[in-house]
Amino acid sequence: MRSHDVGDESRKFYVVREEEIKAGKVVDVYFIRTMEALRHLGLENTRVVAEIAARSLPRSRRGGRFEWGVLAGVEEVAKLLEGREVDLYSLPDGSIFEPGLPIMRIEGPYSEFGPLETSILGFLCSLSGVATVAAHVKVAAGGKPVVNFGIRRNHPAISLAIERASLIGGLDGSSGILIEEIGFKPMGTMPHALIIIAGDQVKAWKAFDAAVPEEVPRIALVDTFCDEKTEAIKAAEALGERLQGVRLDTPSSRRGDMEEIIREVRWELDVRGYKHVKIFVSGGLDEVSVERLARAGADAFGVGSRICGADPVDFGMDVVEVEGVPRAKRGIKSGAKDVFRCPECLRYFVVRKGAEAPTCPDCGVRTELAYVKFLEGGRIVTEFPSVAELRERTLSQLKKMGLLHPTR
Ligand SMILES: [Zn+2]
């Protein structure tokens, strides 16, 4: 047996199983060494308070970094820590947060959660990165529908987790069929392959209309053999009232000027009386192009790589209190903290744990504790909202921040 074959023969795709994550197998070895050294000192069960905050947020395609993010992965962290002797306080999933804000506080013997830091951060960094970019794309679309078409960009083992995070970020749907498990209908139109194999666009669109269930929107892909304008008219003539939309999938096509193509397709559909036909755009989109194309008249967007390939949020975990005494590394404020939030302007206020709720100086109202207690002694003490509720939480904050119109 070669050395790299040592281990689990059943690991066909080299995927870590959920029970292995739960058992702490996804861990940087230096935490194992830390535990060995702490045990040597008899300090492995020292009671500590650790806090998690983002150092910075991912880069925006507009330049610079995003100023706010959307939190995701908290439910996973709570389930990871369930059964450990810890108390867990956190902003809930779907919270808009800023870099530097302590979004989570964990209390308990270090041995109970220290070695899980790798996986705790992994959940939060990866999923919050996806939710954050999803929300920024949704805002860029001016609230118009945005669907996640990008699960092909991820390792399949995490596709559902990534889709879920994109929905928490406010997206309107996703394309993978497993999302039915979390209460959403998968969304999708048709690939070029269908039209190429059928050999003729009209034949393909009509077959689609005849074959797929009635509740599936009839959205014809219109850029396979001819230009978008010609095929959009053909599709409208072929399906008439039954056609709900046309999809243009080549924003960086040879002709290049996608905004002009959208205006032209809209015009040609309108003058023929097909005002009901929506224009759906996909293919290499990001927050910059979505904003431009939404202004040009596109009605909905399929976004893939930009969301599923989102940079992680660089959350870090820091010990801030040891046996009840404030103690932290340089650059980190010591002592356990509480986070309050103004219900009016949504501003956060960080205070010493146990301090009274501050009054918002701008709104003059009493702030509310932003932390939710998720675990007490390792027992889950809150209910996890549905993905639809988390999505609504994100969207309602974006509306309150003036980033989305209240109608959507
Ligand atoms: Zn306020």
pLDDT at 116 > cutoff 90: yes
Instruction: Determine the distance separating the centroid of ligand 1 and the alpha carbon of 405, expressed in angstroms.
Output: 20
pLDDT at 407 > cutoff 60: no
pLDDT value for 69:
98
Mean pLDDT value across residues 331-356: 97
pLDDT value for 5:
52
Instruction: Determine the distance separating the centroid of ligand 1 and the alpha carbon of 361, expressed in angstroms.
Output: 7
Instruction: Determine the distance separating the centroid of ligand 1 and the alpha carbon of 348, expressed in angstroms.
Output: 9
pLDDT at 100 > cutoff 80: yes
Stretch (H or E) spanning 307: helix 305-308
Instruction: Determine the distance separating the centroid of ligand 1 and the alpha carbon of 281, expressed in angstroms.
Output: 38
- Give 174's contacts (C-beta < 8 A, 6+ positions apart): 147, 148, 149, 151, 163, 166, 167, 184, 186, 187
pLDDT at 1 > cutoff 60: no
Give the lowest-confidence range in 7-11, 77-81, 238-242, 303-307. 7-11
Output 251 or 226, whichever has higher pLDDT.
Answer: 226
Please provide the average confidence, as pLDDT, over all residues in the chain: 95
- Give the span between the Cα atoms of 352 and 333, in whole angstroms: 10
* DSSP bridge partners of 69: 97
**Which residue from 277, 215, 201 is spatially nearest to 246, judged by alpha carbons?**
277
Query: Which 8-state DSSP code applies to residue 284?
Result: S
pLDDT value for 135:
98
pLDDT value for 9:
73
| Predicted confidence band of residue 10 (pLDDT cuts 50, 70, 90) | confident
pLDDT value for 390:
98
pLDDT value for 60:
98
Instruction: Determine the distance separating the centroid of ligand 1 and the alpha carbon of 289, expressed in angstroms.
Output: 33
Mean pLDDT value across residues 25-52: 98
Per-residue pLDDT of 171-210, as tens digits, reads: 999 999 999 999 999 999 899 999 999 999 999 999 999 9
pLDDT value for 257:
87
Give the lowest-confidence range in 88-102, 162-176, 253-267, 346-360. 253-267
Instruction: Determine the distance separating the centroid of ligand 1 and the alpha carbon of 184, expressed in angstroms.
Output: 34
Per-residue pLDDT of 58-75, as tens digits, reads: 999 999 999 999 999 999
Per-residue pLDDT of 236-247, as tens digits, reads: 999 999 999 999
- Give the span between the Cα atoms of 211 and 206, in whole angstroms: 8
Per-residue pLDDT of 283-315, as tens digits, reads: 999 999 999 999 999 999 999 999 999 999 999
pLDDT at 251 > cutoff 70: no
Alpha-carbon dihedral sign for residues 308, 310, 311, 315: negative
Query: Which 8-state DSSP code applies to residue 311?
Result: P
pLDDT value for 406:
57
Instruction: Determine the distance separating the centroid of ligand 1 and the alpha carbon of 366, expressed in angstroms.
Output: 9
Output 92 or 251, whichever has higher pLDDT.
Answer: 92
Per-residue pLDDT of 138-150, as tens digits, reads: 999 999 999 999 9
Instruction: Determine the distance separating the centroid of ligand 1 and the alpha carbon of 248, expressed in angstroms.
Output: 43
**Ion ligand 1 — residues with CB under 5 Å?**
342, 344-345, 360, 362-363
Mean pLDDT value across residues 150-170: 97
Output 4 or 261, whichever has higher pLDDT.
Answer: 261
Per-residue pLDDT of 368-377, as tens digits, reads: 999 999 999 9
Are 163 and 169 a contacting pair, CB within 8 Å?
no
